[in-house]
Amino acid sequence: MAVPKRKTSHARKNKRRSTVWKMEAPALVTCPNCGEYKTPHRVCGACGFYNGREVVKKDN
C-alpha cells in the first residue's frame, strides 16, 4: 500500500483546496415594475410585485 513519505504542508494542502470554496455572485435581474435589482423567481423587496401582480403590500 502506498504511504506518503512526507507530511503535506498546510500551504500545499490549502493551495490545492483553494478553488473548492469560491463563492459565486448571486444572479440578479431588474424588476419590471420598479427597476430595482432582485433575485429571479422571488418577490421584489422594493415594490412587492411578482409576475405582474402585487403580492406583498408595501408602504412607500
Residue-wise pLDDT for 25-47, tens only, equals 889 999 999 999 999 999 999 99
Q: What SS3 state is found at 30? A: strand
pLDDT at 21 (0 to 100): 74
> CA torsion angle for 37, 42, 45, 47 (degrees, to 10)?
90
Q: Which of 6-10, 20-24, 37-41 has the lowest mean pLDDT?
A: 20-24
Mean per-residue pLDDT over the chain, rounded: 89
Q: Per-residue confidence at 9, pLDDT binned at 50, 70, 90? A: very high
Which backbone phi and psi does 12 adopt, to 5 degrees?
-65, -40
Q: Where are the domains of the chain?
A: 28-60
Distances (CA, A) of 28 to 5, 23, 24, 49: 49, 15, 12, 16
- The whole-angstrom separation of Cα 2 and Cα 43 is 55
Return the percentage of the chain with pLDDT > 70, whole number.
Answer: 98
